[in-house]
Amino acid sequence: MSVASLRLGTRGSKLAMAQSGQVADALTARTGRPVELVEVVTAGDRSSAPVHRLGVGVFVSALRDALVAGTIDFAVHSYKDLPTATAAGLHIAAVPPRQDPRDALVARDGKTLAELAPGANIGTGALRRIAQLHALGLQLSVTPIRGNIDTRLTRVLGPEADLDAVVLARAGLARIGRADVITETLDPMLMLPAPAQGALAVECRADDPDLVELLATLDDAPSRAAVTAERAMLATLEAGCSAPVAAYAELAEGDAGDEIYLRGAVISPDGTRDIRLSRTGTPADAAEIGKALAAELLDLGADSILGPQGHDGLGTQQFGSTE
Residue numbers annotated as active site: 81
Distances (CA, A) of 153 to 124, 129, 225: 11, 17, 32
Q: What is the DSSP letter of 268?
A: -
What is the sign of the dihedral through the CA atoms of 295, 221, 63 and 11? Answer: positive
Give all strands of the β-sheet with 103-107 in edge-to-edge order. Answer: 141-144, 121-124, 165-169, 103-107, 184-185
Alpha carbon dihedral 53, 96, 238, 308, in 10-degree steps, equals -40
Alpha carbon dihedral 142, 175, 227, 77, in 10-degree steps, equals 90
165, 122 in Cβ contact below 8 A? yes
Distances (CA, A) of 22 to 15, 202, 212: 11, 12, 18
Tell me the C-alpha distance between 13 and 34, whole Å.
22
Residue 295 neighbours by CB distance under 10 Å: 15
Distances (CA, A) of 15 to 59, 103, 178: 13, 16, 11
Distances (CA, A) of 63 to 42, 152, 199, 320: 7, 24, 17, 15
Which residue in 3, 50, 53 sits closest to 28, CA to CA? Answer: 3
